[in-house]
Amino acid sequence: MKRLAGALLAVLFAGTNAWVQAEEVVLRVGHFPNITHAQGVVAHHMSRQGKGWFEERLGPGVKIEWFVYNAGPSAMEAIFAGALDITYVGPNPALNAHVRSKGEEVRVIAGAANGGAALVVREDGAIKKPEDFRGKKVATPQFGNTQDVSCRAWLKRQGFKVTKTGGDVFVVPTANPDQLSLFQRGLLDGVWTVEPWVSRLEMNAKGKVFFEEKDSLTTVLACSARFLREKPELARKFTRAHADLTAWIKKHPAEAQKMVTDELTALAKREISLELVQRAWKRLDFTSEISRESFEKFLASAQEVGFLQEAGDLKRLVAVEEKEKESHESDREDLK
């Protein structure tokens, strides 16, 4: 009888463990190793230190797994593959994913950062006014990315004809580290990029800011439509925790800057300067606010220069507005 009772207890105990394990939810969250993704970088650092910001606010049954990406398309591919639930990402990759999936796969649930993008020229005075860019070479981080679109749209508004391979101004998609070295060697006349590369060009390559996008949409918080549909309460909790973290970062900039510096150093496996982080920080506005209008403004610029012509209606992309406008049954399913 004792053996039977012991066996029964063992079965019950094992069953209880299985139930507890089944109840645990693993939330897969992505970000870039970048100052413009400060909320993700800070939260990742806190998780690494055992003081997880999101873990404490989402409950003991939720485990956060962090994934680091170097480009928006990679993060969106992970969303498509079901390997990622939520990610910090630029507006253009989110828009591209929205178009590619015909509005079915991606939702933007919050803002993260505005500003931090600028057009940098050499301080030798060769470029003093917009007309001086004629015949010059200007680098952007990636063809069709957020800064590339802004650069092409700005040049077009200055009266220049810009094509994919030439025109009045040569826009040259170039990875950020290569931009710095080419600029230092005098092989580029300008660079349209985002922090911390703007500050690095100033600090290490004698660059000066010619034009700054102070209110541009730089980083958003996006998730898979499936995650929003299947775990709406968890999505709401994460969004609220993200807003609280954003407020904390704005209230404690020095502490947040130190965390960002330490985490980027750990991720890059090389020393990141606190001075660089502090300098870049001044150009960024961390905010959890987002609106469809900000995306529509960016989309208009993209379409102006030939990108995202098939974007269609963005009403399903920005999920925070879907709560208020129940114009589509599937949209309501995402957020109910």
Alpha carbon distance 30, 41 (integer Å): 10
pLDDT of residue 176: 86
pLDDT of residue 332: 38
Element (H, E) at 272: none
**Residue given tokens 């645990």 in the structure block:** 24
The answer to whether 217 and 300 have CB atoms below 8 angstroms apart is: no
Q: How many residues are recorded in the chain?
A: 336
**Whether this model's pTM surpasses 0.85:** no
Per-residue pLDDT of the chain (336 residues; tens, 9 = 90+): 545 455 444 444 454 444 444 468 999 999 999 999 999 999 999 999 999 999 999 988 899 999 999 888 889 999 999 999 999 999 888 988 998 898 899 999 999 999 999 999 999 889 999 999 999 999 998 888 888 989 999 999 999 999 887 899 999 999 888 999 999 999 999 999 999 999 999 999 999 999 998 888 899 999 999 999 999 999 999 999 999 999 999 999 999 999 999 999 999 888 999 999 999 999 999 999 998 888 888 888 888 888 887 777 788 898 874 443 343 334 334 434
pLDDT of residue 303: 85
Strand 25-31's sheet: what is its strand order? 62-68, 25-31, 86-89, 217-224, 106-115, 284-286
- Give 27's contacts (C-beta < 8 A, 6+ positions apart): 54, 58, 62, 63, 64, 65, 85, 86, 234, 238
Q: Which CATH number is 19-114+217-335 given?
A: 3.40.190.10
pLDDT of residue 177: 87
Alpha carbon distance 252, 163 (integer Å): 44
Pick the CATH number of 117-213 from 3.40.50.150, 3.40.190.10, 3.30.70.120, 3.40.50.720: 3.40.190.10
In whole angstroms, what separates CA 108 from the centre of its chain?
Answer: 11
Ranges of CATH 3.40.190.10 domains, the chain: 19-114+217-335, 117-213
pLDDT of residue 155: 96
